[in-house]
Amino acid sequence: MCQKWLKERQERPLSLEEIRTYCRILTAIAHTIALQAEVDEVYTQVEKSLLQF
């Protein structure tokens, strides 16, 4: 996704607003990955407790 976004803008300099947008995209992706890791951990714990039940 990020590579495609940058590739589409490869032939010209990025505006300040485009740079800000790109940073927001990266931040959102980083937060999503971190949250997914937390969800995966909780899911693993719940799954184990259900199997023990």
pLDDT in tens, the chain (53 residues): 889 999 999 999 999 999 999 999 999 999 999 999 999 999 888 888 887 76
Asked whether residue 31 is domain-assigned, the answer is yes
**Are the CB atoms for 6 and 22 separated by under 8 Å?**
yes
The whole domain housing 26 covers: 20-53
What is the predicted pLDDT for the residue at 34?
Answer: 97
* Inside any domain, residue 9: no
Q: Residues 6 or more apart from 22 whose CB is under 8 A from it?
A: 2, 5, 6, 14
Is 12:20 a contact under the CB 8 Å cutoff? no
Residue 46 falls inside a structural domain? yes
Element (H, E) at 37: helix 16-52
What pLDDT is stored for residue 36 in this prediction?
97
Residue type (1 letter), 39: V
- The total number of structural domains that make up the chain: 1
Residue 23 amino acid letter: C
E strand map for 1-53: none
